[in-house]
């Protein structure tokens, strides 16, 4: 007997971001796996097992969930945001590729969710309105020089840059280094958006500029693990509105033939 | 009296992708604006005006919706996918910036949705599992040489590439040119995913390789306006599964220090 494994995107931390498909899949599961704080967002249901685990335990969590599904369970693995963006869907695929043959026969579905950059962008206007990229600043899984090369390439080519995992206790200097690097390629007036805990009660979205974005704890904007940063291009604009937060957007049109 | 303007992401063409927030905002509106086929997805409600318009009329549509909201209406502008990704949110911001002062005082909210690349990725595994970019191949709003430079930069830097608007009747050669260009930077075995009409009855998701991706109408995979294409990196993998579609994913980890 073989079960089913659903990798479910919860979106940012508020039920309003949940899709109908994700809500349905959460109800159908008889076991839930996930990083503790994400699992805590799912309402408790009788007869539904819960298996919270720690951050950074993605591979072990994926293996456990796959074993459970292969034994016939209807298993859900929950992710914040979208499971395919720096989250559990790739970890599940890695385990399937290297695991027992039976795992390749499993019914695996991935259910998309609102990823952080879309939620933060929506809160402030349309900063991702033109070509853009998503880059994780974590050098746990890739070498820092590669991240630097990607930052340089993206800024030079005129992509808006969404930075995931900008900083953590174990990675205190990476974000500051990235900002320094981007300052070499982009003007100081380039808009930068900091979105923290979007969809949660302590949500904060702030707009600053590349010149003023200070990465130190004493800086104007505090950045942490729950922050998503969007760095604009030379064409990104800020609309000041009296009595309302500004709107930041990147125009759909560019006449710029050379950068 | 001033109304409200909500720019709402419907996600791909199936109600299962709709978020709770988007569903609520659709009910609250007393007038709907949007590209006809997107409006057709919204259930008819009594006392709710509908203003369908043509593709490529984004600026005029945005202006009309803003005028309506400024006159006190509760107006919703609907977008397929996410309104902030090659869609209506930037068009609304453009109109606000250049329009009458009163538009800056309007209550404008953007409600995110599942954008095509997240839906297509979810259908096939986790091809966006590492750093990635989103690039529109339409040269209606930017010069083609700039698109070529972005393709080169993204491929060289190791970003997975999601291609929006790969082809249209008025733009028959651009996609073939882009594939040719990417073949100079990436090996022929690089996985390429074609997702057509995801979430609609005629949905089709196919996996091929950069070497085999043929852009001509007589080619193996037909690409049209409703297609989203994901081009992997050197590290993207395809898991063959007996009796099931393959899984395509990009590992979270890379040891690649130089590209």
Q: Write the DSSP assignment of A56-102 as a string of letters.
A: T-HHHHHHHHHHHHHTT-EEEEEESB-TTSSSHHHHHHHHHHHS-GG
Q: How far apart, in whole angstroms, are the C-alpha atoms of residue B176 and residue B37? A: 27
Does residue A85 share a domain with residue A12? Answer: yes
* DSSP category for residue B195: E
**Which residue, B87, B114, B141, sits at the end of a domain?**
B114
Say what the pLDDT of residue B256 is. 62
Q: What sign does the dihedral B143-B194-B54-B109 (CA atoms) show?
A: negative
> Across residues B93-107, what is the average pLDDT?
97
Cβ-defined contact of A110 to B96 (cutoff 8 Å): no
Closest chain B residue to A153, measured at CA? B153
**Tens-digit pLDDT profile for residues B58-94:** 999 999 999 999 999 999 999 999 999 999 999 999 9
Domain count, chain B: 2
Closest chain B residue to A156, measured at CA? B153
> Across residues B145-174, what is the average pLDDT?
94
Percent of chain B, pLDDT > 90?
82
Checking if the pLDDT of A245 tops 80, the result is yes
* A178 and B CB contact within 8 Å: no
Q: Name, in order, each residue with C-beta under 8 angstroms of A259's C-beta and a sequence gap of 6 or more.
A: A156, A157, A158, A234, B146, B149
Say what the pLDDT of residue B220 is. 53
- Residue A255 exposed, middle or buried by CB count within 10 Å (0-12, 13-18, 19+): exposed
Does residue B90 share a domain with residue B31? Answer: yes
* CA gyration radius, chain A: 20
Say what the pLDDT of residue B224 is. 85
- Phi-psi label, residue B81: left if phi above 0, alpha if psi -120 to 50, beta otherwise: left
Does residue A121 share a domain with residue A245? Answer: yes
Question: Count of CB contacts below 8 A, A vs B?
Answer: 261
The minimum CA-CA distance between A69 and chain B, rounded to whole Å, is 16
Locus of tokens 């970019």: B133
Cβ-defined contact of A257 to B146 (cutoff 8 Å): yes
Q: Name, in order, each residue with C-beta under 8 angstroms of B161's C-beta and a sequence gap of 6 or more.
A: B132, B133, B135, B151, B154, B155, B182, B230, B231
Is A26 part of any domain? yes
DSSP code string of B79-115: ESB-TTSSSHHHHHHHHHHHS-GGGGGSEEEEE----
> Across residues B93-99, what is the average pLDDT?
98
**Which residue, A114, A138, A173, sits at the end of a domain?**
A114
CB of A233 within 8 A of CB of A250? yes
Checking if the pLDDT of B254 tops 90, the result is no
Say what the pLDDT of residue A223 is. 85
Does residue A189 share a domain with residue A98? Answer: no
- Which domain does A151 fall in, by range? 117-249
Question: Confidence band (pLDDT; 50, 70, 90) for B258?
Answer: very low
Is B124 part of any domain? yes
Q: Which residues of A touch B66 (CB under 8 A)?
A: none
Does residue A232 share a domain with residue A133? Answer: yes
Cβ-defined contact of B16 to A11 (cutoff 8 Å): no
> Across residues B158-178, what is the average pLDDT?
92
Chain-wide mean pLDDT for chain A? 93
Is A254 part of any domain? no
**Tens-digit pLDDT profile for residues B209-226:** 999 987 554 455 678 888
> Across residues A146-171, what is the average pLDDT?
95
Cβ-defined contact of A130 to B58 (cutoff 8 Å): no
CB of B49 within 8 A of CB of B33? no
> Across residues B110-119, what is the average pLDDT?
98
Does residue A121 share a domain with residue A102? Answer: no
Q: Which two three-digit tokens encode residue B126?
A: 């986790």
CB of B73 within 8 A of CB of B3? yes
Cβ count within 10 A of residue A43: 8
The secondary structure of chain B in percent helix, strand, coil, rounded to multiples of 5, reads: 30, 30, 40
Say what the pLDDT of residue A224 is. 85
| Least confident interval from A170-179, A181-190, B101-110, B232-241 | A170-179
Does residue B80 share a domain with residue B12? Answer: yes
Is A96 part of any domain? yes
**Tens-digit pLDDT profile for residues A42-69:** 999 998 999 999 988 899 999 999 999 9
Does residue A177 share a domain with residue A80? Answer: no
ipTM score: 0.96
Does residue A106 share a domain with residue A122? Answer: no
Read off the CATH number of the domain in which A123 is found.
Answer: 3.30.950.10
Say what the pLDDT of residue A172 is. 85
Checking if the pLDDT of A258 tops 50, the result is no
Q: How far apart, in whole angstroms, are the C-alpha atoms of residue A34 and residue A42? A: 10
Tell which residue, A221, A172, A175, has the closest CA to residue A195: A221
Q: Which of residues 62-81 of B touch A (CB under 8 A)?
A: none
Q: How far apart, in whole angstroms, are the C-alpha atoms of residue A43 and residue A34? A: 14
Say what the pLDDT of residue A218 is. 47
**Which residue, A65, A86, A114, sits at the end of a domain?**
A114
> Across residues B17-33, what is the average pLDDT?
97
Q: How far apart, in whole angstroms, are the C-alpha atoms of residue A82 and residue A193? A: 20
Does residue B226 share a domain with residue B126? Answer: yes
Locus of tokens 């340089």: A152
Cβ-defined contact of B239 to A96 (cutoff 8 Å): yes
**Tens-digit pLDDT profile for residues A16-48:** 999 999 999 999 999 999 999 999 999 999 989
Read off the CATH number of the domain in which A12 is found.
Answer: 3.40.1010.10
Does residue A38 share a domain with residue A134? Answer: no
Question: Confidence band (pLDDT; 50, 70, 90) for A256?
Answer: low
Q: Which residues of A touch B158 (CB under 8 A)?
A: 146, 150
């Amino acid at each position: 007997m073989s079960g089913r494994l659903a990798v479910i995107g919860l979106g940012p931390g508020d039920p309003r971001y949940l899709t109908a498909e994700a809500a349905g899949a959460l109800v159908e599961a008889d076991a839930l796996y996930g990083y503790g704080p994400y699992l805590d967002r799912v309402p408790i249901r009788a007869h539904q097992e819960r298996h919270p685990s720690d951050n950074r335990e993605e591979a072990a969590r994926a293996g456990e969930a796959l074993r459970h599904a292969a034994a016939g369970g209807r298993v859900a693995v929950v992710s914040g945001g979208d499971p395919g963006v720096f989250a559990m869907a790739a970890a599940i695929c890695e385990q399937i590729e290297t695991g027992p043959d039976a795992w390749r026969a499993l019914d695996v579905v991935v259910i998309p969710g609102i990823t952080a950059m879309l939620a933060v962008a929506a809160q402030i206007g349309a900063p991702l309105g033109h070509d853009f990229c998503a880059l994780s600043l974590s050098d746990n899984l890739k070498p820092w020089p590669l991240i630097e090369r990607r930052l340089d390439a993206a800024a030079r080519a005129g992509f808006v840059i969404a930075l995931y995992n900008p900083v953590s206790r174990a990675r205190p200097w990476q974000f500051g280094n990235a900002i320094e690097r981007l300052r070499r390629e982009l003007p100081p007036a380039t808009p930068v958006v900091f979105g923290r805990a979007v969809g949660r009660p302590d949500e904060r979205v702030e707009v600053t500029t590349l010149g003023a974005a200070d990465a130190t704890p004493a800086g104007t904007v505090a950045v942490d693990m729950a922050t998503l940063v969007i760095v604009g291009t030379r064409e990104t604009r800020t609309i000041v509105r009296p009595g309302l937060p500004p709107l930041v957007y990147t125009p759909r049109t560019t006449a710029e033939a050379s950068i």
